[in-house]
Structure 1
């Protein structure tokens, strides 16, 4: 076993123990283990996400602020000074470690997340830089430098859709930004060319020859990103299988094989590989999630195939398949939420499924947990209002809708109009026509075509 493989095995050991500690809500121990693993292999993005989840959960459990206020920065003035000094000295490896120390007390501090991304970029860790820039934009959606840098990295990695989306965020915030306009035009042109090239069979040499020229540790990454044909897919799977069979107790390698098989649409092979990962390591939550994603994709593919064949003739079969997909997702997300107790995005998604299912109390419980994360406060509050309305608890629904409306930064957005509309319906149901009319007319003043708002106003006025 090479030194690199020994290091990877040591990192895997730390991360496995960290996942178990996180599942048990032992946040301090989980954070320590994730940090040790990341010092060995700093480019493990999923594990860095878990670290951030553990940090956020620990702070929220203690009733603190995840963004770090003035008091937090005052207490950590020496650490922040060290971070700045290391950046000026271009000692980026040390700076990354120091930034992560500060993020332990303020995991959603936009400024430090941006510095982390910049440090990763300076050390040519593109994937980790992209993740950190993404975290920075979540913490501060108005950080245009983060959006621009993220867009450039996506472009560099030929992820044109993602790059365009980043530059669109810049253009929406600053319509006169010439750099954004130029980037979107160029990327759109490149996108069209790429689609044209996809139709051609190009490239010299075999897929396996390409892999021979790469470092061993990069083989699987190449295999997952440069598949162009059926032969490529077969060669990539062979390379991944060789790695997994050489170290059969390493569940990550079986997951990697499953990822490549899934990319090649070998669903049976991917299922077998993910199941093997779970057999090797029953605690491998990533493998469980990937298996869930695979099953969901199979359902979606089945539905899309039925629609393409004969949407009208297959209507009953499509409806039944959609019901099966929904039932599967409810069951699978229940498992995910249990296995990832600090993932608030999962709680929000599970809540939405329960809301669709008419399980009002269960949905409310998920949304109440999800809104502990600032990113999900408004959406969760709005959905809690919907659940209360369906339980005929109209006063509570109105209260939640009102809180959601106050939390919206764009008062004329589609979401804001939806909240106002539901507020109007709740007041109308209570017989409070004046208040209902007030909210409906607010919508009419910015968008008269929104739903049936014009008709509703006419009906209420006629009845008054």
Structure 2
């Protein structure tokens, strides 16, 4: 059994590029209404990278086009039909064995025939949660609740998932729906009481409406501020002020007014951007991300500034989730909470790899972007893949020494010791004689320690002595010099 790359610590660059090509073909199929083939292609993306929210969103959007009536229907209309239920059992059986890719493949196949099967959707959500993909887990559960808002099992599952990421208000909401359907349920009562105590924890940036059905969300009034929106063109925000310098500054629009502006002119990205910025400032990062995506779409998809705003809010959401999990782990001091915190941090790190990989592909000639990408690869332990972008980053003279130092550490991790030594020596040379920066000290230390490991005692003594002459208390440099002296005496 071979787990999907995402379950093993992230996709390789080759797999990521291959899947991206599959995804682009799927989007073209969706655009020309070839929904069945698009479903198969999107299914491949979801199965091989179950942590990609973008792949999952497109998978669901295509499925809604294949079965428009089912997309708007409730689960109760389908639950009694033949064929429903078997798909969930197949997914569950495969997931229990750890056959993750096969489980997601089976689930996607089942939904192609039975798009309203809440059981399959919830089971896929559970599998995403097992792999640590909380964003996708919540998306599956929201999807299931859109179809069946009062489903007891899905609400319980959603409550547990929300509690894990510290979204206690939303978890209470799920338990309240259970209580409404099953008055006197002791589990629901206990959970509501317990979670009420936790409500003071900082929020992690998740949309409070995340797991509510569409019917639960109040819709704004429309058509009130079309002229105000038209004056705030995204492509020229200062144009109006230049033409009419005497006009007093306009008050910031409210959320309701911005929603009305979007309804009045859905092809103008300005209001989407302003509302996204408002949500981002308020910590509603899921909403902000959704609006930046829409703004990017209506702007034609080629606006790099918008794309980077979208990427940043996505990363901030991941970082906030990791922060909340870490705070909870520190408070609870339990192995389970610590494991969740580590998982959230790992997911945040992988999200950074994903984003900076895309940026590096967009600007292959920018050494600063290559450096940022390489740092993220190194952080998640992809030392071999980090070598190439670190080498490209050396073109930035201001960071050349730092890039060489990181490069040496990567080479050392993959046991290319001679190459590692060359990089450490290059870092030392770039820093220059007499410049006792922290970077030069670390490069001397790394070179000395590596030389000891390679049994090159002369080189080890030279580097460590140079370091000790400037900072005798640096790490364990004095002890290493003593050890070198002992080796020479006894050798």
TM-score range, shorter chain: 0.3 to 0.5
Q: Which structure would you say has the larger Rg?
A: 2
TM-score with structure 2 length normalisation? 0.44
TM-score with structure 1 length normalisation? 0.47
